[in-house]
Amino acid sequence: MKWVIIVIVLFIIYDVIPTYFYKLFYKLKRPKNGNNLYLTFDDGPSIYTNHILDLLKKYDIKCTFFVVGDFALKNKDLIERMYHEGHLIGIHSLKHKNAWFMGFFRTFKDFRDSTRVLKDLKFYRPPWGNINLFSLYFVSKYKLKLVFWNVMAEDWRANISENEIKTRIINRVRGGDIICLHDGRGKNNAPYRTLKALEKALPILLERGYNFRRLDSYDEK
C-alpha cells in the first residue's frame, strides 16, 4: 500500500503537475483579442495531407504542421510541399509516444532523434499535450518552444461527424486562438472528416474577418 502511494505521488510530481501547470499557463497567456487564428495540424504527414494542403492553397492560408518524426521520414515529398507552399513545420515527437510513461533516456532519445529529422525546428507540441519533468529540460536544451492549443475539436475521434467538427471549430474559436486539428492517425479515417469539416468552416471564418497565421507570428501579449 505504501509503495502504491509513493508511485502515485511520484507520478503526480513527474507527469501530472508539469503537464497541467503548462496547459493552464498556456491558456492564461493567450492573446485576448485580434482577428488572427493559428491553424495547426498534428500527427501527419499521411495520405490525407495532400488534400489538406490543396484546401489551404485554395484560400491562401498558411499554417503550422506538427509532424511525427517517423512519418516525416516516410513522406519527404509532403514535407517538401509544406515548406514550398509557405507553411511552418514543428515537431510532434519521433513515434507519438506518451511522455507520461517515459523516463530520462527515452525522453532524451525522443528529443535527440526527432530533432534530427528536420532542420531549424523551433516549435514542439507533445503528443496528447503530455510532458514529464525531463521534457521541460530537453525543450530548453534543444531551443524549442513548447506549444499547446486553445481550441480542440476532438476531430480524431472515431464517432464524430464532419458536421460536428465544423460546428465545434466555428463555435469555439475566438481571435488569437491556436486551433489543434489532425492530418494523420485518428480512427475510422478521421482526417478525412477533418478535411470535409474544414472545407465548410474555412470560408465561414474568413467571412467573419479572421486571418490565418503561422505560429512564428504568434502574439503572446
Shortest CB 126 distance to Zn ion, Å:
8
Shortest CB 68 distance to Zn ion, Å:
7
Shortest CB 199 distance to Zn ion, Å:
22
What is the C-alpha to C-alpha distance for residues 82 and 75, in angstroms, rounded to an integer? 11
Nearer to Zn ion, 43 or 177 (CB): 43
What is the C-alpha to C-alpha distance for residues 59 and 129, in angstroms, rounded to an integer? 29
Task: Name the residue with the smallest CB distance to Zn ion.
Answer: 42
Q: Please give the residues from 95 up to 154 whose contact with Zn ion meets the rule CB under 5 A.
A: 127
Binding pattern for the stretch 160-199 against Zn ion, x by CB under 5 A and - elsewhere: ----------------------------------------
Nearer to Zn ion, 127 or 191 (CB): 127
Among 40-48, 82-90, 136-144, 172-180, the segment contacting Zn ion (CB under 5 A):
40-48
Nearer to Zn ion, 93 or 210 (CB): 93
Nearer to Zn ion, 190 or 210 (CB): 190
Q: How many residues bind Zn ion (CB under 5 A)?
A: 3
Classify 213 in phi/psi space as left (phi over 0), alpha (psi -120 to 50) or beta: beta
Nearer to Zn ion, 67 or 198 (CB): 67
Judge if the upstream peptide bond of residue 191 is cis by omega within 30 degrees of 0.
no
What is the C-alpha to C-alpha distance for residues 164 and 181, in angstroms, rounded to an integer? 13
Shortest CB 79 distance to Zn ion, Å:
17
The reply on whether position 42 binds Zn ion by CB under 5 A is yes
Nearer to Zn ion, 100 or 210 (CB): 100
Q: Where on the chain is the footprint of Zn ion (CB under 5 A)?
A: 42-43, 127
